[in-house]
Structure 1
Amino acid sequence: MIVEVQYAHEDKDLDAVTHDYLSTGYSVYWASPDDFTNDRFRIEEMVVAFDQQAETAFAASWADPPEVDPPEEYLEGFVNSESLTFTDPNPDCNHTWKYGGSDLHDRDFCKHCRLERWKDTAVEAYIYDESTIKTSSDLADRAAQAAFEQREKENHQHVWEPRGENRYRCRCGARLNEHKGKQTISNDPFEDSPEMMTTDPRYCDHIWERGDGCMRCISCGLEDPL
């Protein structure tokens, strides 16, 4: 057991020190000037503190190490550390984590914003890579590019869905426009077109992602049951 006399060093990180002691199997008691007479340590006060599990007593048998923030300078040892953080850089996202980040080293990625993280056992904390966050536009572009490249490799047959007056969409990203009896087909999902800029499902250039029991467009949120 370790008795720490907290007297002069008022800036000492008590949680961090307690965490280190408990993590190595030591119990710790934080003593103050009130625990001393002129010539002795009032050990009975310490015994009572442990019996009552007071805020100054931490027994290795029942106390969990306090949570502590890892040192920010720890990240400086990583390559491209500017984008790394211990704090979630996109807290507004309703993260859904899946295994398999970009570098394949025990990373998770969020299905929605593509933020990547991994658990660093040295500091017992998640490290987030802010550079991996993708906007909705980024995700739609990447998915559309993949669909376009896949379509080029296959003998794809378009299935047209109405997306407004005289306009149709295939789930592969191709568009069909009718004007004065003439049909125009565009197979390029990146061709500039006004309806691509709207989240209205009637005009959305749907980019489909398989969800639970349905296909969901990551651009407008439209769901199509399987």
Structure 2
Amino acid sequence: MQYANEEKDLDAVTHDYLSAGYSVYWASPDDFSNDRFRIEEMVVAFDQQAETAFAASWADPPEIDPPEEYLERFVNSEPLTFTDPNPDCNHTWKYGGSDLHDRDFCNHCRLERWKDTAVEAYIYDKSTIKTSSDLADRTAQAAFEQREKEKKKEDHQHVWEPRGENRYRCRCGARLKEHKGEEIISNDPFEDFSEMTTTDPQYCDHIWEREDGCMRCISCGLEDPL
């Protein structure tokens, strides 16, 4: 039993005691008479599981924010945070981010995290986030390099998908522009065509799986080297 004065961090103290197996009751001035502690008030609080009573048998330690100074122990602590740096993403976590097997990564934004057991909290590495434009550029570049490597099979038939007015894109990365009754095709997604533009070079909402030495999209098979 402790007195809940204003200088105490109630959540932190409660967390520490419950984690060590001790029940906690926070007393207020109403729990005291002139000459004694009114123990019956404490008994009622535990029976009713009041906000001031925490029994080790049924109460979980309250969540507390780890001290930010803890991150300074890491060599490169600047991009590290205890708070999700990309909360707008509907994260889908997979095991095996980056080249560290103890990390998770998000299938969508590639944000990486790991659970630090010393503070019982996730640490996020915000430097690993890939924006939509980053993923689009990496996708187009990887597709172009793959085509150059394989020299494109002669029997490939483009399947054009609309990418704006008179503009189309094939899943292989090639672009088509209808201009003055003619079809202009570029096999290089980064070639500067004065008459040809695209709104978005990304053609797949990638879902990444880790493989030896690379990440592979299970939808389109694109490889992204680590």
Range into which the TM-score falls when normalised by the shorter chain? 0.7 to 0.9
Deviation per residue, 1:122-178 (Å, 9 max, x gap): 222222111111221110111112212222222977666676788664322123567
Deviating more after overlay: 74-83 vs 106-115? 106-115
> Matches of 1:48 and 1:157 in 2, distance apart?
77
For the 8 Å contact 1:117–1:128, the answer to whether it is kept is yes
Q: Residues 122 and 48 of structure 1: is their aligned pair in 2 closer, same or farther, counting only changes over 3 Å?
A: same
Match of 2:96 in 1: 100
Match of 1:42 in 2: 38
Q: Residues 217 and 182 of structure 1: is their aligned pair in 2 closer, same or farther, counting only changes over 3 Å?
A: farther
Q: Residues 12 and 105 of structure 1: is their aligned pair in 2 closer, same or farther, counting only changes over 3 Å?
A: farther
Q: Residues 225 and 177 of structure 1: is their aligned pair in 2 closer, same or farther, counting only changes over 3 Å?
A: farther
For the 8 Å contact 2:173–2:201, the answer to whether it is kept is no
CA RMSD between the two structures? 6.4
Which sections of structure 2, spanning at least 5 residues, go unmatched?
none
Q: Residues 109 and 132 of structure 1: is their aligned pair in 2 closer, same or farther, counting only changes over 3 Å?
A: same
Q: Please give the TM-score of this superposition, normalised by the length of structure 2.
A: 0.72
Q: Residues 28 and 114 of structure 1: is their aligned pair in 2 closer, same or farther, counting only changes over 3 Å?
A: same
Deviation per residue, 1:68-93 (Å, 9 max, x gap): 12221111112221111111112222
Verify: 1:127 aligned to 2:123, yes or no. yes
Deviating more after overlay: 155-164 vs 46-55? 155-164
Deviation per residue, 1:13-64 (Å, 9 max, x gap): 1011111111111111112333233433222222222122222211111111
TM superposition shift of 1:99: 2.4
For the 8 Å contact 1:201–1:220, the answer to whether it is kept is no
TM superposition shift of 1:198: 4.4
TM superposition shift of 1:103: 3.0
> Matches of 2:105 and 2:18 in 1, distance apart?
33
> Matches of 1:172 and 1:88 in 2, distance apart?
34
> Matches of 1:106 and 1:156 in 2, distance apart?
41
For the 8 Å contact 1:208–1:216, the answer to whether it is kept is yes
For the 8 Å contact 1:169–1:205, the answer to whether it is kept is no
For the 8 Å contact 2:139–2:222, the answer to whether it is kept is no
Q: Residues 202 and 119 of structure 1: is their aligned pair in 2 closer, same or farther, counting only changes over 3 Å?
A: closer
For the 8 Å contact 2:216–2:224, the answer to whether it is kept is yes
For the 8 Å contact 1:83–1:129, the answer to whether it is kept is yes
Q: Structure 1 vs Structure 2: percent identity of aligned residues?
A: 91
For the 8 Å contact 2:91–2:107, the answer to whether it is kept is yes
> Matches of 1:85 and 1:13 in 2, distance apart?
22
Deviating more after overlay: 34-43 vs 49-58? 34-43
For the 8 Å contact 1:199–1:219, the answer to whether it is kept is no
TM superposition shift of 1:179: 6.7
Which sections of structure 1, spanning at least 5 residues, go unmatched?
none
Match of 2:216 in 1: 216
Q: Please give the TM-score of this superposition, normalised by the length of structure 1.
A: 0.72
Number of equivalent positions? 222
For the 8 Å contact 1:196–1:205, the answer to whether it is kept is no
> Matches of 2:125 and 2:224 in 1, distance apart?
33
> Matches of 1:35 and 1:123 in 2, distance apart?
34
Give 1:24-43 correspondences, 5 Å limit. 24-43=20-39
